[in-house]
Structure 1
């Protein structure tokens, strides 16, 4: 009986290999040859799953953004109060553990590619727009609960997202999470200003 192959799982495995290679050696290190070798495929076998490097890069980029979104959703799934939901959202969007830091470092390696790829640039802009609207919603809910004061929530969200992106950039130089306590202090200060 022929072996049943889960092609979707194979695609996910290839994306994970691409992420590891990019994390270790940067975007240029992720060639079709290096991905095939690390994944245990013959050189041309990847084409069955991805037509070329561009499609692997796009899938990797999309996967990281999905993982980030899922992390935020799981961190804010069952808060007792709107203020707890807001804090959980803030903490989930700044890279604070090795997996988040690694994902952010791979994402940064792919940014240059996304600049010249309209669909990936649109995908990332959509991700940032979703973050902004989600954060504004959480701030409004915390306001309705009486936990924070009325203010320009869009401006506050833009500030926070800039800090979250900046934290991802800083982690290029501090991949072991040496700055996580700084990010936590910033979150505490941000919430204090909202109050």
Structure 2
């Protein structure tokens, strides 16, 4: 009886091999041959799934986005506590908190450089950042709709400011992990969100 191959799982295996090659040797070494070797597949088998390097890198980027979005969906269902807790949790989704998320973001930063010369990859970069922006928007709207947000807050400005803060903290977490611990980052986010809330809610934060 012929062996049934799960082609989606095989493609995901290849994508994970892409990540490993990038982490070990950099994106310039993410050639079809090197990735095939990492995935323990022949180059001809690789060509069956991806006709060129661009297709392979594109799929690997898509998989990171899908995994991130799946984590968010799963965690949204576990919301407990106050509107402040919910808003903070959404914001922290976008900052790596464990080894797997750290690895994904590190690979993603390598993709950013490659995307400068590849329009299709650039679209995925834009999608990822738009997801992050919508996350910041969502977090602040939770506070606003729950009447926790100060009435004078400029929503557009504060969404932009929070987006910039989170993007910077996420990159800092990758480049200088020993300077800011996950606890430090959570404290920074809490402090930032607390400044946007009405005084009457401070003792509930």
- TM-score with structure 2 length normalisation? 0.85
Q: Say which is worse superposed, 70-79 or 175-184, in terms of deviation.
A: 175-184
Unaligned 5+ residue runs, structure 2? Answer: 198-205
Corresponding pairs, count? 195
Partner of 1:183: 185
Alignment of 1:9-24 (within 5 A): 9-24=9-24
Alignment correspondent of 1:115: 116
Give 1:193's aligned residue: 195
What is the RMSD of the two structures over their aligned residues, measured on CA atoms?
2.0
The more displaced of 131-140 and 183-192 is 131-140
Q: Name the residue aligned to 1:40.
A: 40
CA distance in 2, matches of 1:102, 1:137: 26
What is aligned with 1:126?
A: 127
- The equivalences for 1:128-167 within 5 A come to 128-150=129-151, 151-167=153-169
User: Cα gap change, 1:180/1:141 in structure 2, threshold over 3 Å: closer, same or farther?
Assistant: closer
Q: Over alpha carbons, which structure has the higher Rg?
A: 2
Query: How far apart, in 2, do the equivalents of 1:173 and 1:123 lie?
Result: 22
* Alignment deviations for residues 70-114 of structure 1 (CA, whole Å, 9 cap, x no partner): 223323223234332211101111112111111110000110111
- Note the alpha carbon deviations across 1:23-78, whole angstroms, 9 max, x for none: 12210121111111111111222000111111111111111122222223323223
Equivalent position of 1:106 in the other structure: 107
- Aligned counterparts of 1:65 and 1:71: Cα–Cα separation in 2: 10
Structure 1's unaligned 5+ residue stretches are: none
The answer to whether the Cα contact below 8 Å between 2:27 and 2:110 also exists between their aligned partners in 1 is yes
